Structure formats: C-alpha cells, structure tokens
C-alpha cells in the first residue's frame, strides 16, 4: 500500500482568463469591446468594434428615437451577437450593455429597450451621469497613477461627447468634483440647424455656446496652479493621432494647445466631405470634429494650459475594470463617495463632529446587525452617507429640517451615487426624526418594494445611532449588540452612565421595533 507521503500531489491547473464584453450605445455610435479578465484582475482587450448610429441628432431635436433608428440599433446589436457567440460570451454577468445621453433623454427610451430585447434578447441599462462619472473614474484612475506629473497633481479630466461634457477633478487619486454639463458636439450641431445659422456665423455661434458652459466649469473647478487638463474622447484622439507622430495611441501624452488650435482652425474651414477624404474620418466624425475640438481648445485656453494630456481611456475601459472587480464598490471608491458627501455637508455648515460620530455608530450597528437586515455593502455606504448628511437641512429651516435634507440630497451631486441612490439616501435622512415612512410621502411612494424596505431598515438603524450620540460628545465609540429574549441589547463598554442616551433610545427605537420586530435596550458597559 502506498503511504500518504508517497501519493503524488495533483498539480494546480491555471485558471483560464474569463472572456467578457461591454457595449456602449452612445449619441453617434454603438461600440463594443471584448476582453479577457485574468485571475489577478488584469484586463486585456481582445477586440473592438464600432458601428455608426446617429441616435443623438434626433433625440436632441425632438426628444424621441425614430422607428428607423431603433431598427438600426437592433441590427447592429444582432451583428455584435454573432461576434459574441464566436468568443463564447452569452447574456449574463459577462456582458454589460449601457446606453448614455441619447437614449436616456429619449421620451420613448422604454420602447427602445423593449424593442431591442424582443429582437435580440439583450437587456440595455440606461445609466445616468453619476454612473458615467463612476465608470470614468474606474477607467482613468490607473492611467493617472502611472503618470508621475499627474499622480500627485490636480487633474481636470474632461470628455466632450456628443450630448454632454463630463468633468472630473482628481487630486492624488481623490475625486474633488464631478459634474455633467449639457454641452456636446452633436447637441451644438442640432442647435445650429434649428437656429438656421449661416456658415459665416457658425464658429461664433459655437464659441458663444461653449463659453457659457466654460464659465460654469471654471467657476466649479476653480483656479489652481497645479491644474492639468486630461482630455479623452474620440474627437481629441483623432486630433492627437494626426498631430503627434510619436504617440503610441495608448499612453497619456501632452498635446500642445497651440497645435490643437491650429488644427481646429483648419478643420472648421473645411466641409464634411473634404474632412472625410483628407483625414479618413467617418461622416459622423467629420460633423462633430470641429465643434468638439473648438471646445477642447477653448477649455485649455480658459485654464491657461500650454498643453493638455490626451488619454486613450474610454467608457468601455471603465466598464471592463468595473467587471474585473465584480461591480462591487471597493474601499477606495467608498472613500471617494464619503469625501464627496463631506464636501456637500461642509457647504451647508453641518456639525461635522456629530455627523461623523453618528456615521461611525451607524456603520458598527450595520455590521453587527447583518443577520437581521440582510443588506449588502452598498447599502452600508448609503447608510453612512445619510448619517453624515441627516442634519444638512438645518441651515434652511430648523422645524422641517428633515424634509429639507431630502430635498438638498436628492438635488445634489455626490460622486458615485446615481439618482436612485441619492433618493434613497435622502429618504433615510428624511426619516431620521418625526414620522415613519409612509406610502403617501414624497419620493418614498415611488420606490419599488425592495427599495422601500431598504430605506425603512436603514432609517431604523440611523435612529439608533443618533440616540447613541444624543449628548453630541462622541463619548460612545464602541458598542456590542446582543440578542436577549427576543430583544436587542446594545451594550456600551467603558461607559458607566448612559441615562441620557437611554431616554433618547426609548424615543428613537420605535421604528426599529416596527421594522425588525425587536425592542431595543441600551445598557451601560461593565
């Protein structure tokens, strides 16, 4: 008999790379990227496909997608399906299809996504500006970390797309500002057509519209001697390929503003047919090139930058990096959301010390009550943000500050949070006091059942955390949650007298009892 020591070990087989794909339905084209994700999280792009689809022009003009455009998109996606099958990629977690500004602004976007599903069986996700910013950050952050001058500096990351201009301000890896502006090359063209601008006035018309948006961008971003413009998008890459002989097409590279201005002047003097013939552009590229490059040039000049960095990163790169981490919010990304929330709170002069104490106590309650609430990591982040901002409405009105908190949060920009998530955060903050959630309340009644239950659970936990810091002294830092005889006992180690907090807990624990079916007892630690 062979002894155990003599049994040969079975060699570990290498884990095969996982094939994935992302499809981006934009204002001017439908693009697909196919990649493989390795076991260490590394992403390697295998193939890219681009098909023109002029969805933005009609949406920006009449707010609807025509039957012809819908069928064109369905045809392109059917073609992409054949390629996906060759790579062994089927609908599911290995395929993500997103639609941006054009589809999002179409009044018949549901009819569009339903028709695509009927024809192809594919689900399209219409993502808002916050999700675009999050995905952009996922794609651009590795590039910035790899460039010494940008890694510790202040990067103003800009993409001028067909419908919107996306701006991210990143310093040392931290997002300082994110905003979407209604300035896009295709939107500008639509405005030119609707206003019947003569060819001689075309440039001045574009400059006038761009300048109005630039004034807002400059005011939002603020002057800083360390500002560096990082530009990405098809139009700026098109220019860089023709102006920079030594660019490898992938790395960050500086493009002199003066060179870009000269090239922009040349493009604006040519008609679309000449641009197509001279530079090998598609017709849609030829249309959008002039307005987009003029906007990039004016942006660099507004920030007094002698050059701007051109980046090959795009939305699909961010989507692929997001898939590599399983769509989860990393600790780094969680910190970005919280920094953005703190920035909002400071603008409303909130009690930051109390807010931070309540947020930390909320997090500890959330972790220790995981068996009861059955929520995931994302909901913990939403609770934390709501805890930070629950008193943000005090600056507006003390009596109804909880309702004003909902309004402020719902109508603000917090980096990384979608409109739906902002509504949930606002509602959790709204229910930190007074009435319990009710179907008739603004915002709450519009939620689906799952989100309504989530809001109720998080608001119940938030009320407990607020009671624990009722003295606003921060003296309660640690807690231990114990289930005893069908009740929740919160023990406070190291604090002998919690009589004030016990009074607050009796007032605040009713929602928790109703949601989780457990009364709450606060007990001093031994």
Mean pLDDT, rounded, of the chain: 92
Q: Which pLDDT belongs to residue 102?
A: 94
Q: Find residue 167's DSSP bridge partners.
A: 158, 179
Other residues' Cβ atoms within 10 Å of the Cβ of residue 149: 13
Q: Which pLDDT belongs to residue 14?
A: 53
Token pair for 20: 């994935």
What pLDDT digit, counting tens, does each position of 112-142 carry? 999 999 999 999 999 988 888 888 888 888 8
CA dist 370 and 352 (Å) reads: 27
**Residue of 27, 413, 15, 68 lying closest to 220 (CA atoms):** 413
Q: Which domains does the chain have, with CATH numbers?
A: 18-126 (3.30.420.40), 129-316 (3.30.420.150), 331-476 (1.10.3210.10)
pLDDT of residue 13 exceeding 50, the answer is: no
Distance of CA 495 to the CA centre of its chain: 41
* Helix, strand, or coil (residue 354): helix
Q: Which pLDDT belongs to residue 244?
A: 93
CA dist 348 and 353 (Å) reads: 14
Q: Which pLDDT belongs to residue 15?
A: 65
* Helix, strand, or coil (residue 27): coil
pLDDT of residue 506 exceeding 70, the answer is: yes
246 compared with 67, residue with greater pLDDT? 67
pLDDT of residue 10 exceeding 70, the answer is: no
What pLDDT digit, counting tens, does each position of 334-371 carry? 999 999 999 999 999 999 999 999 999 999 999 999 99
* Structural contact between residues 463 and 432, judged by C-beta atoms closer than 8 angstroms: yes
Token pair for 427: 């509602």
Q: Which pLDDT belongs to residue 4?
A: 45
Q: Which pLDDT belongs to residue 424?
A: 98
Other residues' Cβ atoms within 10 Å of the Cβ of residue 472: 11
* Helix, strand, or coil (residue 213): helix
Query: Can you spell out the DSSP letters for 8-26?
Result: PPPPPPPPPPEEEEEEEE-
* Structural contact between residues 352 and 346, judged by C-beta atoms closer than 8 angstroms: yes
Token pair for 457: 């659970």
Rounded mean pLDDT of 493-505? Answer: 94
CA dist 433 and 427 (Å) reads: 11
Rounded mean pLDDT of 376-399? Answer: 96
Rounded mean pLDDT of 1-12? Answer: 48
CA dist 226 and 192 (Å) reads: 36
Buried b or exposed e, range 380-396, using 16+ CB within 10 angstroms: bbbbbbbbbbbbbbbee
CA dist 141 and 175 (Å) reads: 10
Distance of CA 81 to the CA centre of its chain: 27
pLDDT of residue 266 exceeding 70, the answer is: yes
What pLDDT digit, counting tens, does each position of 453-464 carry? 999 999 999 999
CA dist 265 and 263 (Å) reads: 5
pLDDT of residue 232 exceeding 80, the answer is: yes
312 compared with 520, residue with greater pLDDT? 520
Token pair for 371: 């068996």
**Residue of 249, 320, 287, 250 lying closest to 32 (CA atoms):** 320
Q: Which pLDDT belongs to residue 526?
A: 64
100 compared with 224, residue with greater pLDDT? 100
CA dist 124 and 150 (Å) reads: 35
Confidence class for position 282, pLDDT limits 50, 70, 90: confident
CA dist 6 and 157 (Å) reads: 60
Q: Which pLDDT belongs to residue 131?
A: 87
H/E stretch holding 181: strand 174-181
């Amino acid at each position: 008999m062979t002894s155990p020591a003599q049994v040969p070990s079975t060699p570990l087989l290498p884990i095969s790379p996982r094939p994935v794909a992302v499809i981006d339905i934009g204002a001017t084209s439908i693009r697909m990227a196919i990649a493989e994700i390795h076991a260490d999280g590394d992403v390697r792009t295998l193939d890219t496909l681009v098909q023109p689809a002029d969805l933005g022009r009609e949406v920006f003009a009449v707010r609807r997608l025509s039957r012809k455009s819908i069928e064109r998109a369905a045809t392109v996606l059917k073609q992409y399906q054949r390629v996906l099958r060759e790579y062994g990629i089927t609908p599911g977690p290995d395929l993500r299809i997103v639609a941006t500004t054009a589809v999002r602004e179409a009044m018949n976007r549901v009819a569009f996504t339903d028709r695509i599903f009927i024809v192809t069986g594919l689900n399209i996700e219409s993502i808002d500006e916050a999700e675009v910013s999050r995905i952009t950050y996922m794609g651009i952050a590795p590039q910035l970390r790899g460039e010494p001058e940008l890694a510790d500096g202040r990067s103003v990351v800009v993409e001028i797309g067909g419908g919107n201009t996306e701006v991210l301000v990143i310093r040392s890896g931290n997002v300082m500002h994110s905003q979407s502006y209604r300035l896009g090359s295709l939107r500008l063209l639509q405005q030119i057509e609707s206003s019947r601008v003569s060819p001689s006035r075309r440039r001045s018309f574009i400059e006038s519209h761009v300048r109005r948006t630039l004034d807002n961008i400059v005011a939002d971003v603020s002057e800083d001697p360390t500002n560096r413009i990082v530009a990405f998008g098809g139009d700026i890459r098109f220019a860089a390929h023709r102006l920079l002989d030594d660019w490898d097409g992938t790395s960050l590279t500086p493009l002199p503003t003066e060179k870009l201005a000269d090239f922009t002047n040349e493009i604006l003097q040519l008609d679309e047919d000449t641009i197509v013939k001279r530079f090998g552009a598609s017709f849609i590229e030829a249309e959008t090139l002039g307005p987009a490059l003029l906007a990039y040039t004016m942006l660099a000049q507004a920030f007094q930058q002698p050059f701007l960095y051109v980046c090959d990163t795009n939305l699909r790169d961010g989507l692929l990096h997001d898939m590599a981490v399983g769509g989860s919010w990393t600790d780094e990304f969680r910190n970005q959301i919280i920094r953005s929330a703190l920035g909002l709170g400071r603008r409303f002069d909130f009690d930051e010390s109390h807010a931070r104490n309540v947020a930390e106590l909320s997090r500890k309650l959330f972790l220790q009550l995981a068996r009861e609430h059955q929520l995931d990591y994302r909901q913990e982040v939403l609770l934390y943000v709501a805890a930070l901002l629950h008193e943000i409405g005090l600056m507006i009105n003390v009596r109804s500050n909880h309702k004003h908190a909902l309004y402020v949060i719902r109508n603000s920009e917090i980096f990384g949070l979608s409109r739906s998530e902002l509504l949930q955060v606002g509602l959790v903050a709204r229910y930190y006091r007074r009435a319990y959630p009710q179907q008739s309340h603004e915002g709450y009644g519009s939620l689906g059942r799952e989100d309504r239950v989530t809001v109720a659970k998080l608001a119940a936990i938030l009320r407990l955390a607020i009671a624990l810091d009722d003295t606003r002294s921060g003296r309660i830092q640690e807690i231990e949650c114990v289930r005893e005889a069908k009740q929740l006992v919160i023990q406070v180690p190291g604090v002998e007298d919690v009589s004030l907090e016990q009074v607050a807990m009796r007032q605040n624990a009713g929602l928790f009892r109703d949601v989780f079916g457990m009364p709450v007892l606060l007990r001093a630690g031994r």
